[in-house]
Structure 1
Amino acid sequence: MATINDHMDKTLESLKHNFSKVRTGRANANVLADITVDYYGVPTPVSQVAAVKTPEAHMLLIEPWDKALVNAIVKAISASDLGITPNTDGTVIRLPFPAPTEERRRELVKDCRDLAEQARIAVRNVRRDFNNKLDRDEELTEDEVRREQAKIQKCTDEYIAKVDAMLKAKESEVMEI
Structure 2
Amino acid sequence: MRIRTRLHALLGVGMVAGVLVTPAPGVRAATPPGEATHRASARTSYLLGCGGCHGEHGHSSPAIVPDLTGQIGYFLCTPEGRAYLVRLPNVAFAHLPSDQLAALVNYMVFTLGGSSTPKDARPYDAAEVDRLRHEPFRMTDFIAYRQKIVAGVVHACPQAAHFSSFAPDNPYVMALKH
State the TM-score, normalized to the length of structure 2.
0.27
> Normalized per residue, which structure has more strand?
1
Higher RCO by CA contacts (8 Å cutoff, separation 6 or greater): 2
